[in-house]
Structure 1
């Protein structure tokens, strides 16, 4: 490592340590702070010459996100401060206001269980130089508890087929934030200048809360799962969910646009809403179609025949070429009891039960939920993007679903026939058909 690089890394680690030291405890947002958040939001078109001020004069409300490149602005109202909306102008533009506050939740927030031992594996240095030390005799040595799940998706073969291990691929984890000082992320995070916390309104996306309560630890787990699959990928941490695991629509949308600005190539959304959001759909459409970013969304954990959004519109339109919705199966390839399902909407399944991951405070914890299945898929995409593709980018997610493991052979999952996508993730088949050798 060059001296300048060593200094940069050291400074980053010191900064993270200071950040963690300042954020170990937290309190819930006050009612006054909550009342300042927009109650309703909408996406409005931005044309040449528009500014936040001209849009506010035209439509009323307050601009909370202005993106001239995307040609869209997010406007909010109902926070006790902004003027009334100009309904006639909104109607002429085909714009619809939608609820904003706490519309999204992390999928699997309430599913944590199992061990809370100290983290002992997953160090980036273990994989430097293409080392295969994470596998020993078919056992995933770094986090041995995940061996069965990772054997299920053929991860050992995937690491051999994608020896770059996701190097050079930035993955945005839009979630509850991270335990920024956890050993699992040493050397694996994007520069601190790129970090973002929409909940706290600053650049320190540190997890806040109490382990086992609400969504605390959710983002830390999700990011560490991505890195277990693609050990040399880079994580861009963006916090949009509070300690309860809930988040506002405008924060999620702004984070999606922000991830694109920072050069993310994959976005992981282990979160969802039961209500379709035009604001989120436009954000995903922009980053997939215009920025060629792959977006992975969890399907939700209500065991209902309707997956959550944005997963539910991952199959729709042109953005479907670069989006994936992901549900959960257990170690026997049976649909997880909690996983949502839906014909023609759910695209892929992956292991999501008792997945061991990093937990705040240097811990190793176990989670279950579609939130854990999604980052396994995200990591698989990062492995492919770290290599030279043999297919066009718009066909990468298609190759992943087409090469899934059949989930209906021998009457398996017969009650959910055609409702579990095209199968369970098989990284060996996927990479064999998507990467040049």
Structure 2
């Protein structure tokens, strides 16, 4: 076979192999991605989009003329978001914004609607946060109720009753609904359609009611997870695990403990242009996404904060922060020539991948070598943070000394109020810059 045809065929085989790996991996775990709605006899309101891959062009951190601006949890604080974008000199012609989720709710209602309109009109790339997910579910539920004869009329009259009652008595909405469901027998069939634990007429409900169809489609289009193969990076809201905590880290079923099996392309393995390392890295990163069962559970992706002994996931402050476990695994990576070391339980045959996330407002800014937590607690009126990649930080010659503090006179602070270094390491050998503004 002539050299002109050998390379395209090699990459075609690899592409088909990776696609097969992706499809077979997801199909084998479909039950873990389903919500609990169907189990309760209700439709599935979740509208999950599991994974989106961004290309090098969509995440242009190697281009000195472009930047990626990753923004922490906004929670409807539109004015603070605009001040942050002004601070980083956001240019929509050359900059890409990427949100780590929880863009709406828990701030003012008007602020949430302004944030949603800004994100939608500019088609901002974002993962879903747990609060974004609640808004999606409420809107999908509302559409379902409206599709049934008498449903919209019942919902409107019920809201009018609640507003009138709320004006007379200071009673919790859950208590009021419980009383209505118990004594309003003529409408019992409607009350039974409210999923257990949902807060009717709460913040998420009202945002869902007011957003336009275009804004709803935008919210639904947002995935739970983003993978950027060119940057060896994951973006999620709450977290991701690099191994199954219910198994020994060195178990051969763990994604990093063994090298993935490559397709047999013996004719091309000796070609200098054949980048086997890149293929192996991508396959291992896909294995993290697909072969760690916890990563296929949407609740984990949206809510995880820690891991308890025994491997159970928690959304509270108990257990070991997942980022510490992830960092331990990445620090054991010694490249792809160290497979025998995994057998000795000293290192893994892998190369590290980075995670950028939000959600942990109580923990605050949490920057480690391979995990970058950028929720600095704007929801608690602390700070809103952005991580800027690319631009002048794309150059390996960038010197920390060039990054004078007068670029960010307010500084960047951790949850305890300590000023932290604003220039951070990112990826294999890159750097980024943290900016933040106080939230009002």
Normalised by the size of structure 1, how large is the TM-score? 0.31
Comparing both structures, which one devotes a greater share of its residues to helix?
2
Comparing both structures, which one devotes a greater share of its residues to strand?
1
**Structure possessing the higher relative contact order (Cα contacts under 8 Å, 6 or more residues apart):** 2
